[in-house]
Chains A and B, each alone.
Chain A
Amino acid sequence: MTTRASIRFLRRARIVELSHVPSMRSVLDWLRLDERARGTKEGCNEGDCGACTVALGSLKNGKLVYEPVNACIILVGQLDGKELVTVDDLADGDVLHPVQQALVDTHGSQCGFCTPGFVMSLFTLYQQGGAPTRDEIATHIAGNLCRCTGYRPIIEAAQLSCSGKAADRWAKAAREATRQLAALDDGADVFVGTPESFIARPAQAVTLARLAAENPDATIVSGATDVGLWITKQMRQLPKIILTGGVKELHAVKSDKDRISLGAAATYAEATPALSTIDADVAEVLRRLGSTQVRASGTVGGNIANGSPIGDMPPMLIALGATLTLRHGDTERSLPLESFFIAYGRQDRKPGELVWHIDVPKLKRNEAFRAYKISKRFDQDISAVMAGFKFTLDGRTISSARIAFGGMAATPKRGAATEVALQGVSLDQPASWAAAIDALAKDFQPISDMRASAAYRIDVAQGLLKKALMEVAGAGNTRVLANRKAVA
């Protein structure tokens, strides 16, 4: 096993090697302040507006893939082994890239400040080839806010330019870039800095586990979609940063007949194809979780590890009956996911212990699943209430239920009284649902905050349980988003 004392990545077909980068340096600051490459803009400095979007190229199962990420909350260390493409790179002399030209042609920029971010998001869409639908385009750019245009011309620009096989300089250089990226992958454990202040990106699982155990005060970072804000907004000093993303086996997503197993460093984007096979609602929540940028860097493991009461994944995963495996040094242990969340800001994780993998059972033939996300805005919003319901059916009767909510308590939490009240409920007798719906108010005493009032949270939780029961009982369309799709 080798150690490397530098971050190496590809930019403009050349290898950039950095051995003195501060652990907390964001890619955006590196670009704008160190490199003076100022095409990439800072809009919000928290990964929510997309103005700073850059593209990262990486090899996934040997195939070169470009994904958009928010440069403001991605650390330079996370570039290791990747190709960085920014808006400054796209035009070829006076000739604009197809996505740039399309944005000019459709009047897709007004003030122009968000435009570099849109260009880079569309650049990654362009590389995917194919002809995305309007909905797919809207989902792809949900992480890019524009305050001027109303988006119509931007969507049109995407339709015009991302309509076929990629044929730009990147497509032509794909083979060479693939070779260069493969060559960068030296299997070395990256460690830049000193024992007191460093950014580490181990490639070996054992190095990662040992380093974390030896540095219980270090900050473990997978996607930095949350930790990035500790740096940019809370201005915390994080002298020791350990990145999990370098360990290949932690990206593994395995699916067998009964369950899906996710490595803790698997990004949402990597986990989505497998998780989406569980149920259409899981797919829809994942589609709405964060943004394309957030899903490209954020991880399911991180969403669990940071213990947020309003994470989108835990309620669904708890309802599905997921188990969590943690690792400390060479020791692993497993527990039901709901047991991991002890209290607000407190998880069952020792210092130096790592979330290692998550096992999610698939649905059985007699199980019905529903998940709902309630937020002020459909896309790229943090949930006010997140609900996951799994009903085990005996014919038209619910024999048992697992329900879990986010946003309703200090942690993601199961509704014990409601689960009991659901036992024996008949799908054909809506009157029999009332006790269970009422029981939610016993299980949960939510708080009021800027996302929703306590009263609304209870109201909507009850509404969602009713909706789930109606839908499982066979009601037709009860969702506005599906309705809009039908209209369109």
Chain B
Amino acid sequence: MAVARRRIETKTVGKTLAHDSAPLHVQGSATYIDDMREPEGLVHVYPGFARDGALGKIKALDLSAVKSAPGVIAVLTAKDIPGLNDCAPVFGGDPILADGRIMFHGQVIFAVVADTREAARRAAKLAKIEIAAEKPAVTVEDALAAKTKDVGDPYQFLRRDPAKAIASAKNGVSESFRIGGQEHFYLEGQVSLAVPEEHGAVTVHCSTQHPSEVQHLVAHMLHVQASMVTVECRRMGGAFGGKESQAAQWACLAALAARLLGCPAKCRLDRDEDMMLTGKRHDFRVDYTAGFDGKGRVTGVDVDFLARCGYSADLSNAICDRTMFHADNAYFYPAARIATRRLCTNTVSNTAFRGFGGPQGMLFAERLMEVIAIRTGQDPLDVRKANLYGVKGSVTPYGMKVEDNIAPEIIEEIETSSDYRARRKKIARFNAKNAVLKKGLSLTPVKFGISFTLTYLNQAGALVHVYTDGSVHLNHGGTEMGQGLYTKVAQVVAEEFGIAAAQVRITATTTGKVPNTSATAASSGADLNGMAAKAAAATIKNRLIAFVAKQWKVPKSRIRFEGGRVLGGKHAIAFGDLAKQAHAARISLSSTGYYATPKIHWDRPKAKGRPFFYFAYGASCSEVTIDTLTGEMTVDRVDILHDVGRSLNPGLDIGQVEGGFVQGMGWLTTEELVFDEQGRLRTHAPSTYKIPCASDVPADFRVKLFESKGNKEDTIYRSKAVGEPPLMLGNSVWTAIFDAIASIKPGDIPKLDAPATPEAILRAVNGMQ
């Protein structure tokens, strides 16, 4: 039973404060790793790979031209690695430098160390590498045909007998469609700067979401204890999951050069190499059969998600699990088989990306709703409503009861605020009159599970110092990638001490201060680190309360921290003065804090449990126009209503919601990854890979935070995670396109894949005629 939700009055938490670095961002003075003043004697490291060949034995590796190129100091290969040659996050299998064999085009075989980055880049192109080329498995179909061993075992959720439920249903559908991957396109590319220290230790400045993992991988590679490696990150220029596991290789290469040459070493990838050499969102083929009744209610679902994982496991297993966890989105499936294959392909190893497999699962659910609507002749919104959790059932296919379901309320509200029904009619009239242009409209919900599904990761630590002038030093295990985590956690600490957020000094994440952290991922940053920092601050605060209560002879319960002062009875003292007095009285003004998410458990072999602490909800309604002669498309209007519980900082949360939506929209529209038959990525620069730009965002963009009574669960100030869920608000753009195409021939199901590029749209349009 959740604790009663009493509104807690707050002074700093819940206020819109600007991102702590905003004034630095706009002046260009926020320091990213490549902006740091280089230590004396810095060398540059650049990876080298075979320009031709994706799969096969390295027959010949001639590095003589590389070694003799101007400026080159050393060329490193696998045999130079003193410890473990692997930078994989969990299951192994990601060589830092390929040894004997390559598994994808772009796999790093050697690293050049030179006195300038340009010299290293130039030299890296001079290697003569001969690969005994084998035919690479590039697509899902290739992988199925090649029968290569999957990167993880197949896994499924099974509820009742879906085959029977589907067979006996009044209506059925069976089809297959594709969902493309996505390049992160963080604006700051992968970068690490390693500085050798005494006793063989090394400090690595790394643009990473996961300093602890980088620390361990560097330590294993150098064959030193973890305590000899310190990894630090003040901020990233974007990450989105792309710097969760895949920052490690570049950190390892920098650290390797630093160790071997005894001088600081930097490794920063050029954009094209960054895009070729690092993993992306998983693409899928989805094969499914579903049964539904005359009112469009799902009776059974049988779905196979075939994931292109790339050449190694990376995080693919957890990602594919999350696809399964979200194949229901907000809908109840009375009978279901939800299965995934984690296919091994000779492409770069796909990795975490905002939503972590969830978006693909949800897009399936939303397509299913559209298809049922076409088949039953209903409005897709009515089909969605009929299938929501709470109408017929509340237990997910993985056995978790949905206890906090606010999807119906959110949908009701946005249906009204977006004027959905009237616009639906208007669009029907528009489509009847227009031969070339067709409009579509779609309203889709989001229900996203919050917690790492690997339960042990749901923990965090923080470190807080109060100095004798009342200023506060804050450190925690979360990383700042633009989401405003540092600002939010500072607000929490400021709230605890009753001081202004500006008095809290935010410091770079480092493994030396808070150890054994989880990645800043799974939207968990503020939930976990906010709680840990609050605990740290509360420990100090309680010491101060005990001290001052005794001095003032006032009950502890009457001591208050507010407005930069500490109050009790008739007494008052400035926070800084109290800190000074407490220090003089030999009271510690420093504390760690720790938090572990309660309630969650997950039995993966049985596929039962409560993997999520709670769900975050939202809904969006998108209107699009397509051109049936060219496939071009515009998004004309978008309404969003999103649930962040009680917001820690509405300004930052709106930023996450809008940015997430646009990123999701990009994934499903303009962002297309193209690999050729040889497994080479052809879209490895912004000239060929198109993320949304300003004009792609509709002028009519109405974004609101849901008026929440607060998270039902006891999270930090009853807020909800906001990092990933909004990405899936972009789904309504794709379903609106689907709806527009469907209008061409009522009753037919558009053969639309994602992303809905002009080409994909025109193909689907032509398929309707």
A contact residues around B186 at 8 Å (CB) = 111, 113, 147
Is B693 a contact of A459 with CB atoms below 8 Å?
A: no
Is B701 a contact of A152 with CB atoms below 8 Å?
A: yes
Contact with B along A464-486 (1 / 0, CB 8 A): 10110010000101111101100
Is B630 a contact of A114 with CB atoms below 8 Å?
A: no
Q: Is B23 an interface residue (CB 8 A)?
A: yes
Partner of B237, one of A112, A137, A452: A112
- B760 CB to closest chain A CB, in angstroms? 9
B contact residues around A459 at 8 Å (CB) = 762, 766
* Contact A480 B30, CB 8 Å, known A110-B483, A378-B695: no
Q: Is A246 an interface residue (CB 8 A)?
A: no
CA distance in complex: A36, B762 (Å):
49
Q: Is A40 an interface residue (CB 8 A)?
A: yes
Is B695 a contact of A145 with CB atoms below 8 Å?
A: no
Is B19 a contact of A107 with CB atoms below 8 Å?
A: yes
Is A137 a contact of B694 with CB atoms below 8 Å?
A: yes
Nearest-CB residue, chain A, relative to B757: A376
Is B19 a contact of A109 with CB atoms below 8 Å?
A: yes
Partner of A135, one of B236, B690, B695: B695
Nearest-CB residue, chain B, relative to A122: B26
Number of interface residues of A (CB under 8 A): 92
CA distance in complex: A153, B18 (Å):
12
- A111 CB to closest chain B CB, in angstroms? 3
Query: Which of A44-52, A248-256, A343-351 is near enough to bind chain B?
Result: A44-52
Partner of B240, one of A101, A147, A150, A463: A147
Partner of B700, one of A38, A481, A487: A487
Determine which residue in B270, B632, B672 has the highest number of CB atoms from chain A within 10 A of its CB, and name it. B632
Nearest-CB residue, chain B, relative to A378: B695
Which residues of A (36-63) have their CB < 8 Å from a CB of B? 36, 38-46, 48-49, 51
Q: Is B152 an interface residue (CB 8 A)?
A: no
CA distance in complex: A386, B380 (Å):
37
CA distance in complex: A451, B683 (Å):
9
CA distance in complex: A380, B31 (Å):
29
B contact residues around A382 at 8 Å (CB) = 687-688
* Contact A43 B271, CB 8 Å, known A104-B18, A113-B237, A235-B122: yes
Query: Which of B245-253, B389-397, B544-552, B653-661 is near enough to bind chain A?
Result: B653-661
Query: Which of B333-341, B598-606, B621-629 is near enough to bind chain A?
Result: B621-629
Q: Is A377 an interface residue (CB 8 A)?
A: yes
Is B758 a contact of A374 with CB atoms below 8 Å?
A: yes
Which residues of B (440-492) have their CB < 8 Å from a CB of A? 481-484
Q: Is B25 an interface residue (CB 8 A)?
A: yes
B contact residues around A374 at 8 Å (CB) = 630, 632, 758
- B487 CB to closest chain A CB, in angstroms? 10
Contact with A along B257-286 (1 / 0, CB 8 A): 000000000000011100000000000000
CA distance in complex: A452, B28 (Å):
38
Query: Which of B81-89, B404-412, B607-615, B633-641 is near enough to bind chain A?
Result: B633-641
CA distance in complex: A471, B686 (Å):
33
Partner of B758, one of A43, A144, A376: A376
Nearest-CB residue, chain B, relative to A117: B187
Interface residues of B, dominant DSSP: loop
CA distance in complex: A103, B688 (Å):
29
- A312 CB to closest chain B CB, in angstroms? 13
Is B693 a contact of A88 with CB atoms below 8 Å?
A: no
Which residues of B (728-769) have their CB < 8 Å from a CB of A? 757-759, 762-763, 766
CA distance in complex: A44, B688 (Å):
12
Q: Is A434 an interface residue (CB 8 A)?
A: no
Q: Is B125 an interface residue (CB 8 A)?
A: yes
- A321 CB to closest chain B CB, in angstroms? 25
Q: Is A149 an interface residue (CB 8 A)?
A: yes
Is A111 a contact of B482 with CB atoms below 8 Å?
A: yes
Q: Is B374 an interface residue (CB 8 A)?
A: no
B contact residues around A460 at 8 Å (CB) = 629-631, 758-759, 762
Contact with B along A91-110 (1 / 0, CB 8 A): 10000100111011101111
Contact with A along B680-701 (1 / 0, CB 8 A): 0011011110111111111111
CA distance in complex: A120, B659 (Å):
21
A contact residues around B683 at 8 Å (CB) = 450
CA distance in complex: A376, B762 (Å):
12
Partner of B655, one of A48, A149, A464, A488: A149
Q: Is B652 an interface residue (CB 8 A)?
A: yes
Q: Is A142 an interface residue (CB 8 A)?
A: yes
Q: Is A300 an interface residue (CB 8 A)?
A: no
Contact with A along B10-42 (1 / 0, CB 8 A): 000000001101111111111110110100000
CA distance in complex: A383, B31 (Å):
36
Q: Is B326 an interface residue (CB 8 A)?
A: no
Is A378 a contact of B696 with CB atoms below 8 Å?
A: yes
Nearest-CB residue, chain B, relative to A137: B694
Q: Is A446 an interface residue (CB 8 A)?
A: no
Contact with B along A344-375 (1 / 0, CB 8 A): 00000000000000000000000000001011
CA distance in complex: A155, B758 (Å):
26
Is B633 a contact of A377 with CB atoms below 8 Å?
A: no
A contact residues around B695 at 8 Å (CB) = 135, 138-139, 142, 378-379
CA distance in complex: A133, B744 (Å):
35
Q: Is B111 an interface residue (CB 8 A)?
A: no
Is A464 a contact of B185 with CB atoms below 8 Å?
A: no
Is B187 a contact of A43 with CB atoms below 8 Å?
A: yes
Is B26 a contact of A150 with CB atoms below 8 Å?
A: no
B contact residues around A451 at 8 Å (CB) = 688
B contact residues around A443 at 8 Å (CB) = none
Nearest-CB residue, chain B, relative to A43: B187
Nearest-CB residue, chain B, relative to A372: B630
Is A119 a contact of B26 with CB atoms below 8 Å?
A: yes
Q: Is A90 an interface residue (CB 8 A)?
A: yes
A contact residues around B763 at 8 Å (CB) = 456
CA distance in complex: A46, B688 (Å):
11
Determine which residue in A109, A139, A452 has the highest number of CB atoms from chain B within 10 A of its CB, and name it. A109
* Contact A96 B652, CB 8 Å, known A141-B694, A463-B629, A478-B627: no
- B626 CB to closest chain A CB, in angstroms? 7
Is A111 a contact of B35 with CB atoms below 8 Å?
A: no
CA distance in complex: A484, B29 (Å):
38
Q: Is B663 an interface residue (CB 8 A)?
A: yes
- A87 CB to closest chain B CB, in angstroms? 4
Q: Is B238 an interface residue (CB 8 A)?
A: yes
Determine which residue in B26, B188, B631, B652 has the highest number of CB atoms from chain A within 10 A of its CB, and name it. B26
Partner of A152, one of B185, B633, B658, B688: B658
CA distance in complex: A96, B23 (Å):
8
Contact with A along B48-81 (1 / 0, CB 8 A): 0000000000000000000000000000000000
B contact residues around A137 at 8 Å (CB) = 694
- B275 CB to closest chain A CB, in angstroms? 9
Is B26 a contact of A456 with CB atoms below 8 Å?
A: no
- A290 CB to closest chain B CB, in angstroms? 10
Q: Is B224 an interface residue (CB 8 A)?
A: no
CA distance in complex: A260, B204 (Å):
59
- B217 CB to closest chain A CB, in angstroms? 24
Q: Hey, which bits of chain B sit against chain A, CB under 8 A? A: 18-19, 21-32, 34-35, 37, 121-122, 125, 184-189, 235-240, 270-272, 436-437, 481-484, 625-627, 629-634, 636-637, 651-652, 654-655, 658-663, 670, 672, 674, 682-683, 685-688, 690-701, 703, 757-759, 762-763, 766
Q: A109-B482, A112-B24, A114-B187 are in contact. List 16 more A-B contacts (CB 8 A).
A: A38-B31, A111-B235, A112-B237, A113-B237, A115-B28, A135-B699, A138-B695, A150-B655, A377-B693, A381-B690, A460-B630, A460-B762, A463-B630, A463-B762, A479-B437, A479-B632
| 22 interchain pairs, CB-CB under 8 A | A38-B28, A88-B28, A103-B26, A104-B22, A107-B18, A109-B25, A109-B482, A110-B483, A111-B187, A111-B236, A147-B185, A147-B663, A150-B658, A153-B655, A233-B272, A235-B121, A372-B630, A378-B696, A379-B694, A382-B687, A382-B688, A484-B625
Would you list the 9 A-B pairs with minimal beta carbon distance, nearest first?
Answer: A39-B28, A111-B482, A113-B237, A112-B25, A463-B629, A150-B662, A110-B482, A48-B686, A150-B658
